[in-house]
Amino acid sequence: MNTIIIFSSKYGCTADCACNLKGKLTGQVTLTDINKSNIKIEIEKYDTIIIGSSIYVGAISKKLRTLCHENIELLTQKRVGIFLCCAFPEQANDYLSANFPSTLLKNTKTVKMFGGEARLEKMSFLDKLIVKSATKGNYKNLKISHESLEDFVREISV
């Protein structure tokens, strides 16, 4: 299996999940940070495409959203998995339908919410205020679900 994990992360949580996934998948796995990649991502070269993004104010990364829309025909012919890092995984359906083409969602092998982390020490003043207010001060309870990550690995691999 020849896999690419394309991810977007602002404070490192999604990047760590992508890295963790890479370690658990078999075959050749390429890790690509869409925010650092200046060259065109050659999706056609891979059998499996994994897209991972954090959610900010209901939205995934704009670059990832563009990538999905521009490559929708190709993506629907591939094995695709989507994971999101966010504070409110119970809002998964809203996040998915607002950010991904419905044809892509219908053709995915697996979609998982990994939960999230609030890395306050790295955040801008405004982002700290937003995350504290949105979580009603319970930002320390945010965590990654390793169970979801393991489920993702199992489902993308069959």
- By DSSP bridging, strand 48-54 and strand 28-33 are unpaired
**Residue with the two structure tokens 């993308």:** 156
- 12 lies in the binding site for ligand FMN (CB under 6 A): yes
Q: Which two tokens stand for residue 115?
A: 């939960």
Shortest CB 156 distance to ligand FMN, Å: 20
Q: 11 vs 56, 118, 128, 146, CA distance in Å?
A: 11, 8, 12, 19
User: Among 34, 131, 149, 156, which residue sits at the site for ligand FMN (rule: CB under 6 A)?
Assistant: 131
Which one-letter amino acid corresponds to residue 6? I
The dihedral formed by the CA atoms of 47, 70, 63 and 138, expressed in degrees to the nearest 10:
-70
- 110 lies in the binding site for ligand FMN (CB under 6 A): no
Paired residues of 2 in beta bridges: 28
- 39 lies in the binding site for ligand FMN (CB under 6 A): no
- 125 lies in the binding site for ligand FMN (CB under 6 A): no
- 58 lies in the binding site for ligand FMN (CB under 6 A): yes
- 52 lies in the binding site for ligand FMN (CB under 6 A): no
Which of the ranges 29-37, 84-92, 100-108, 146-154 carries the binding residues for ligand FMN, by CB under 6 A? 84-92
Rounded to a whole number, what is the distance in angstroms from the first to the last CA of the chain?
Answer: 11
- 57 lies in the binding site for ligand FMN (CB under 6 A): yes
Q: Which is nearer to ligand FMN, 57 or 158 (CB)?
A: 57
State the residue number with the nearest CB to ligand FMN. Answer: 116
Q: Which is nearer to ligand FMN, 79 or 81 (CB)?
A: 81
**Residue 86 CA, distance from chain mean position:** 9
Q: Which two tokens stand for residue 110?
A: 């697996």
Q: Report which DSSP code applies to 56.
A: B
User: Among 5, 13, 29, 64, which residue sits at the site for ligand FMN (rule: CB under 6 A)?
Assistant: 13
Q: Which two tokens stand for residue 84?
A: 């999101």
Residues within the interface to ligand FMN (CB under 6 A)? 9-14, 54-58, 85-88, 116-119, 123, 127, 130-131
